[in-house]
Amino acid sequence: MDTTEGLSLKQIQYFSAVAEYGSFRQASARLNITQPTLSNQVAAMEKTLGVQLFERSRKGINPTPEGRELLVSARRVLEEAQGFTNKAALLSGGGIGTYRLGVTPTLGPYLLPHLLGPIHARYTDLKLYVREDAPSDLESGLINGQHDLILTTQPVMSTDLVVSPLMREPLKLALAQDHRLGNKPRINRMDLLGEPVLTISEHHLFHRQITELCEKVGAVVRRDYEGTSLDTLRQMVVMGMGIAFLPALYAKSEIRDSKELRVTDVEGINVVRNHALVWRNTSPARNFYRELSDQIRETVEETLSDVVMSVNWTPAKPKKPRAR
């Protein structure tokens, strides 16, 4: 029996949304439809396919094993449909479409303001739906289709993703003006021996990088006081609870002519964060993403060369299959 006759693209979209949010209520709110409509459409899809897609319990909604198998194909169908729509818009001279961009909270808010203007000037009909998350969650979200592309900190582990390096961002030392090192003209790594260093919570990649840096210079990570964001970290430094290393883009954006904080380099320490634009290697829009990454590098070089270092990137050639 051909079940595809009674199956619609909208039903596939509804199925994917319920799986993503784990709730009919949240999914219906996101889709801007009523919950009964969503439930009826998913039930109709299950009847058409002859497969139960979700297991319903008091704890919530989870895809069945069969549902998980079909979810991979469903997300691929939706991605191809979006690519088809965007391609048609380009061919007709219309808009370029809407893309879901995932960003890290320690990068996105301080980089995107410099990028969005030039990007919009070049792609006037491009719309970016931006969501923040930790790097590991961004990567898994990209793989399972929650994001179309992500702006994140390396390393990126999956071999199913294309990683386009964009820039190298230094880390700056921040300390209170009344700190014992506040008036020292030049600070070196030996000055940090035994110093308490503040960082953000450990589920961020940034936390691990700071911990490794402290181990190298003999500083001590304060695990009893961890900031929930870069802003709270800065406030704790002002209150004299310790020193901190902050990303250069954050320092440029949020700490200007501060009478409370000193932001400086440390001689003998050259620690950077490597940022990249990442997308699935199967994405129909991969050529556009490559063009977009070139645009971002150009903008970084033109407007942020005093803060970060842009990098050149040549896409890796696909490996030829071995002869058997």
What size, in residues, is the chain? 324
Work out the pLDDT band at 164, boundaries 50, 70, 90. very high
The answer to whether residue 227 scores a pLDDT higher than 80 is no
Percent of the chain predicted with pLDDT > 70? 91
Average pLDDT of the residues in 45-54: 91
Q: CA torsion sign, 187 to 192 to 198 to 200?
A: positive
What pLDDT sits at residue 57? 77
SS3 at position 2: coil
Say if CB 105 and CB 206 are below 8 A apart. no
Of 140, 137, 136, 119, nearest to 128 (Cα)? 119
CA 17 to chain centre: 20
Q: Return the pLDDT at 94.
A: 45
CA–CA gap between residue 145 and residue 225 (Å, rounded)? 35
* E strand residue ranges, 83-187: 97-103, 126-132, 149-153, 161-176
Name residue 280's amino acid: R
The pLDDT value given to residue 321: 46
- Quote the pLDDT of residue 4: 52
- pLDDT tens for residues 296-306? 999 999 999 99
Could you give the CA distance from residue 194 to residue 97 in angstroms, rounded to a whole number?
52
> CA-to-CA distance for 149 and 18, rounded, in angstroms?
21
165 has a pLDDT exceeding 90: yes
- Residues 3-26, mean pLDDT to the nearest whole number: 84
Query: pLDDT tens, 83-105?
Result: 787 777 665 544 467 889 999 98
Centre a 10 Å sphere on the Cβ of residue 288 and count the other Cβ atoms it contains: 21
Instruction: Please check the confidence at residue 324 and state whether its pLDDT lies above 50.
Output: no
Residue tagged 């930790």 (tokens): 134
pLDDT in tens, 177-220: 999 998 899 999 899 999 999 988 776 778 888 888 889 889 98
Number of H helices, E strands in the chain: 10, 12
- At 112, give phi and psi (nearest 5°): -55, -40
pLDDT, residue 287, reads 85
pLDDT tens per residue across span 239-286 = 989 999 999 999 998 887 678 899 999 998 888 999 999 999 888 888
Chain centre to alpha carbon of residue 268: 30
- Name residues whose C-beta falls within 8 Å of residue 73's C-beta, 6 or more positions apart in sequence: none
Domains, the chain = 3-84 (1.10.10.10), 91-166+274-310 (3.40.190.10), 168-272 (3.40.190.10)
- In the three-class reduction of DSSP (H, G, I as helix; E, B as strand; rest coil), residue 7 is classed as coil
Confidence of residue 316 (pLDDT cuts 50, 70, 90): low
Q: What is the pLDDT of residue 296?
A: 93
